[in-house]
Amino acid sequence: MSDATLRARTGCAWERWVRALDRAQAYSWPHRRIAAYVRQTYKVADWWCQTVTVGYERIKGLRVVGQRRDGGFEASKSKTFTAPLTRLYRAWSDARTRAT
């Protein structure tokens, strides 16, 4: 996430977020507590609280890309279908429909 985008959405760039969270000793907190602190203290929208929290954890070396705070890793994949929703539901539940 760029500094410009983060500043536009949260009012602060990364350097300021890191300073503020370090001052609160957030590096010793679990993920949920950091996100809640950002939300309650700075009135940042939920999605941006997660962005700030994950970015902070990465900057501080508490996690790498794809890593959960507990040390585990996860990956996901999504697919966009150009089909009506009813057809997708039908294909999901009916193997014969999926084959067509």
pLDDT tens digit string along 72-86? 888 888 989 898 999
- Please count the structural domains in the chain: 1
Confidence of residue 66 (pLDDT cuts 50, 70, 90): confident
Q: Tell me, yes or no, whether 46 lies in a domain.
A: yes
Q: Tell me, yes or no, whether 99 lies in a domain.
A: no
Q: Tell me, yes or no, whether 85 lies in a domain.
A: no
Q: Tell me, yes or no, whether 38 lies in a domain.
A: yes
Q: What angle do CA 27, 29, 59 make, to 5 degrees?
A: 30
Phi, psi of 97 (to 5 degrees): -65, -40
Q: Tell me, yes or no, whether 92 lies in a domain.
A: no
Q: How far is CA 77 from CA 24, 45, 71, in A?
A: 35, 25, 20
Domain that holds residue 11: 3-74
Amino acid at site 46: D
Q: Tell me, yes or no, whether 8 lies in a domain.
A: yes
Q: Tell me, yes or no, whether 41 lies in a domain.
A: yes
Phi, psi of 19 (to 5 degrees): -60, -45
pLDDT tens digit string along 31-58? 999 999 999 999 999 999 999 999 999 9
Q: Tell me, yes or no, whether 90 lies in a domain.
A: no
Q: How far apart are CA 100 and CA 56, in angstroms?
A: 47
Beta bridge partners of 73: 67
